[in-house]
Chains A and B, each alone.
Chain A
């Protein structure tokens, strides 16, 4: 382990799924179930047993559309409003209609969901308008349950392989991917008839205040490789300027977490212990109010539990310290923070791209198809907004089924061997240098530039300077980056994705000359929302080697939104405080 091995092998499959976190395992399962004769490969940078955002499980579904509580129409409406109208409703509606089946399927896998005395699912209200949060009492078992299913269906799993680039055929169809072993740097060319990207958020874009490169909110193996690969393959990416920014525990990179504690009576408060937002559901508008309060004389912001019965606090702590980000309990203990006594100080996270929480992702339709034929995307990196874990599962399923059908009708496309040769040279360049800049330093620099120049509130001239500084960093990446072992090479490749994402963030943010989505795209020098010119998607693509952005009309709504409903998320501030 950790020594370079010179090698290149090639495998062919029908459906290649890249990323074995949440969406990926479900995509692989569904592709195989759709047609058991297909050869389905699941490729993962880490180890599927414990990879992705759900590595330690989750405490609940944030967006379950369950009959009796909400209809697909209501959910589609809420998500459209929460996203300031910039939504193609078909994929959201498809998710909302399908997710109840997936909940029942997960239930059959052995994952339990909270039920009331009548035995019905017991949902909680956290969103501004509807009721969608479903707790998972044995949430820590999610990954195990999924893994059992993968084994049962005999999915071929390749762990510790990092995908670096996609391969396309002459006619533009997807042909496969190139991957590198993270412990030996051996190359693997995977030819495929259909490829599903499930590589999660771009979670290592901004730099956390702690200074730890890996102290991100998102699982840090999600370094934006999926975004970068889709970009280089020519796929369109949607609304990247709609960043992900989350309210977190100050210094600790986990959510505070109002979704769990809220239904028990906890809430987000200012230093006076007063509520200042109507809804703790994460939206750009909510983040703007959160930011305003942080900056005000009533800051900082806290999660308030100390008014609850001690037993209730104990129940909440039991959930929060067992799943998702279980080291949170240790963090608070070390600081001497007792939830029963003191409020929990909160802050805002670094920026990232993520559709799971926001709306920045590879552009997909209701079948999870990207704009490249044969290429699919699901989960946090696909453009279906506010999709969360159940969205990753559901749209992973949709992608798997559709890709299986597509693979059945296609012959294995040819790829250009020169592209693989070129990619090997690009990937291995940092290993050919004796000395230079190590990946951790280049990464630190790029991400500090992201914080200094691209983080909202966004300012045009500042972002332009940021672009220049990022171009200098790219020069360093291409001429001076050094990797002394396969592990450092993986980190070097991640820096390359991070830099691509930083460039995309700047480009996308400069393109949309208005403010929208609250804090996510708050442009100080274009402060107003401009529906006349910008009530549309902004799609970013690589054309002839250059980054371009263009407008794309929103599909006509299938669930109409009344004029007075449109602004519901703009009225989040508690009114007696305004």
Chain B
């Protein structure tokens, strides 16, 4: 069966102006229990790659620059 992509609104937002991943930070990627965050090759900033979030908040709590915001996922808002 061939695969297609379906869009999904993701809950975790990174403020690229604040993110210092380009200076080597990977804290949010390291701590996320579900391993859903990555550093983008394109922008050099952190982003949510997989929509598999527990909205647990270590990413936001541990980010040294306050760049991460965890929102409540749309379907349960």
Contacts and interface: CB of A to CB of B under 8 A. Distances in A.
B72 A330 contact: yes
B62 A214 contact: no
Given A50-B58, A334-B72, A438-B3, 4 more contacts: A47-B30, A215-B76, A252-B72, A435-B2
A22 interface: no
B23 interface: no
Interface of A: 1-2, 46-47, 49-52, 55-56, 160, 182-183, 210-216, 219-221, 251-252, 325-327, 330-331, 334-335, 435-438, 480, 482, 487, 490-491
B73 interface: yes
Contacts of A331: 72, 76-77
| 10 A-B pairs with the lowest CB-CB distances in the bound complex, closest first | A50-B58, A46-B33, A50-B31, A210-B76, A327-B55, A251-B76, A214-B52, A331-B72, A210-B75, A435-B2
18 contacts: A1-B38, A46-B35, A50-B62, A52-B33, A55-B58, A210-B75, A210-B76, A211-B75, A212-B75, A215-B73, A219-B54, A220-B54, A221-B34, A252-B76, A327-B70, A334-B72, A435-B3, A490-B35
B65 interface: no
Nearest to A44: B33
A380 to B, nearest CB: 15
B54 A215 contact: yes
Contacts of A335: 77
A437 B1 contact: yes
A49 B34 contact: no
For chain B, what secondary structure do more than half of its interface residues adopt (helix, strand, loop), or is it mixed?
loop
A49 B57 contact: no
B73 A56 contact: no
Nearest to A160: B35
Tell which of B33, B56, B71 has the most Cβ of chain A within 10 Å.
Answer: B33
A537 B1 CA distance: 44
Contacts of B52: 213-214, 220, 491
A42 to B, nearest CB: 16
B3 A214 contact: no
A251 B55 CA distance: 13
A50 B33 contact: yes
A56 B58 contact: yes
Contacts of B1: 435-437, 480
Tell which of B34, B38, B50, B61 has the most Cβ of chain A within 10 Å.
Answer: B34
Contact of B56 (A47, A56, A252): A56
Contacts of A436: 1
Contacts of A480: 1
Given A46-B35, A49-B30, A212 B76 contact: yes
B6 to A, nearest CB: 10
B12 to A, nearest CB: 11
Given A215-B54, A327-B55, A487 B71 contact: no
B77 to A, nearest CB: 6
Tell which of A211, A331, A490 has the most Cβ of chain B within 10 Å.
Answer: A331
Contacts of B2: 435
Contacts of A482: 3
B68 interface: no
Interface in B37-60: 38, 50, 52-58
B35 A214 contact: no
Given A327-B70, A330-B71, A56 B77 contact: no
B57 to A, nearest CB: 5
B31 A47 contact: yes
A182 B34 CA distance: 10
Nearest to A480: B1
A325 B75 CA distance: 18
Contacts of A437: 1
